[in-house]
């Protein structure tokens, strides 16, 4: 028998075409159980993840986020002892002036997106230059600081768990540029009496660069002291943004949060 010279290619194409026609299985029922779960590998009965529409860009809030600041209103925040939020909205930006502010809502584990800007003409040095911060659960500070050519102690650098763990690298842009913070915060686990049974953790990305990778938080962040989880802790608490009083003020924009289970 004589074959056409292209016979192997024609045959292979036919096999590929047949394979493409056959739909891919959307799950299996005959695979082993994944240890520690009720699910089989590729289990057809395992619920599919919910659909969440992403924002237009990674700065924009996804559909299921709580928008804390959209450039218009400071209403998601309050000042000390329930006073109205003292920070003004200017140019679609939240201007840090008038003392610390707190979210009206309480949060535990969460994903937070926040952008900040310090000015090139900012006076001062070290911790007095463009200092602010995000205090998760009103306790654990993810440091914000103008760290561009500004020597300071490592555990007070931008992205530090303040007073505990320096960032893996210094990832800030020069002042005058917006800096982007994306933080995954895992709240400490507490028993029914509020005693901590498992510490809090934080993963921090600044300007697309990972600076904390599931870092264990040793306790509430404090200045010039060590810390621990002594006493009672809540399951949720407001997020605090810091006014460190540096001039000109730090500015914030695009703040949104997604509570995590
Ligand atoms: Mg600070």
Average pLDDT on 58-71 reads 96
Q: Check residue 131 and give its pLDDT.
A: 96
On whether the CB atoms of residues 103 and 77 are closer than 8 A, the answer is yes
Q: Check residue 123 and give its pLDDT.
A: 86
For 136-188, the pLDDT digits (tens) are 999 999 999 999 999 999 999 999 999 999 999 999 999 999 999 999 999 99
Q: How far is the CA of 195 from the centre of ligand 1 (A)?
A: 27
Average pLDDT on 207-214 reads 98
Q: How far is the CA of 246 from the centre of ligand 1 (A)?
A: 10
Q: How far is the CA of 159 from the centre of ligand 1 (A)?
A: 10
Domain segments of the chain as ranges: 1-48, 66-259
Q: How far is the CA of 158 from the centre of ligand 1 (A)?
A: 8
Q: Check residue 5 and give its pLDDT.
A: 60
Give pTM, 2 decimals: 0.90
Q: Does residue 8 surpass a pLDDT of 60?
A: no
Distance CA 219, CA 163 (A): 10
Q: Does residue 24 surpass a pLDDT of 60?
A: yes
Our CA dihedral for 161, 167, 173, 174, rounded to 10 degrees, sits at 80
Q: Does residue 92 surpass a pLDDT of 60?
A: yes
Q: Does residue 16 surpass a pLDDT of 60?
A: no
According to CATH, the superfamily of the domain at 66-259 is: Exo-inulinase; domain 1 (2.60.120.560)
On whether the CB atoms of residues 130 and 175 are closer than 8 A, the answer is yes
Q: How far is the CA of 242 from the centre of ligand 1 (A)?
A: 6
Q: Does residue 14 surpass a pLDDT of 70?
A: no
Q: Which secondary-structure segment (H or E) carries 18?
A: helix 7-21
Average pLDDT on 113-127 reads 95
Q: How far is the CA of 221 from the centre of ligand 1 (A)?
A: 10
Q: How far is the CA of 145 from the centre of ligand 1 (A)?
A: 7
Neighbours of ion ligand 1 (CB under 5 A): 131, 133, 242
Q: Check residue 181 and give its pLDDT.
A: 97
Average pLDDT on 19-35 reads 92
Q: How far is the CA of 238 from the centre of ligand 1 (A)?
A: 17
Q: Check residue 21 and give its pLDDT.
A: 84
Q: Check residue 241 and give its pLDDT.
A: 98
Q: Check residue 150 and give its pLDDT.
A: 96
SS3 12: helix
Q: How far is the CA of 156 from the centre of ligand 1 (A)?
A: 8
């Amino acid at each position: 028998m004589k074959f056409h010279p292209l016979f192997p290619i024609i045959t292979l194409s036919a096999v590929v075409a047949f394979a493409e026609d056959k739909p891919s299985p959307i799950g299996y029922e005959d695979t082993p159980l994944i240890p520690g779960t009720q699910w089989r590998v590729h289990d057809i009965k395992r619920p599919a993840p919910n659909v969440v529409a992403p924002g237009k860009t990674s700065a924009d809030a996804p559909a299921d986020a709580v928008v804390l600041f959209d450039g218009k209103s400071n209403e998601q925040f309050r000042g000390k002892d329930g006073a109205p939020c003292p920070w003004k909205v200017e140019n679609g930006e939240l201007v840090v002036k008038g003392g610390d502010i707190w979210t009206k809502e309480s949060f535990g584990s969460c994903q937070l997106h926040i952008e900040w800007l310090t000015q090139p003409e900012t006076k001062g040095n070290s911790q007095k230059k463009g200092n602010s911060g995000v205090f998760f659960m009103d306790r654990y500070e993810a440091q914000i600081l103008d760290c561009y050519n500004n020597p300071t102690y490592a555990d007070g650098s931008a992205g530090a768990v303040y007073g505990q763990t320096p960032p893996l690298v210094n990832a800030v842009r020069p002042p005058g540029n917006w800096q982007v913070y994306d933080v995954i915060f895992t709240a400490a686990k507490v028993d029914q009496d509020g005693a901590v049974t498992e510490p809090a953790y934080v993963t921090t990305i600044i300007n697309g660069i990972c600076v904390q990778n599931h870092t264990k938080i040793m306790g509430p962040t404090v200045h010039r002291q060590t810390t621990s989880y002594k006493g009672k802790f809540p399951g949720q608490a407001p997020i605090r943004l810091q006014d460190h009083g540096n001039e000109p003020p730090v500015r914030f924009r695009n703040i949104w949060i997604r509570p995590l289970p």
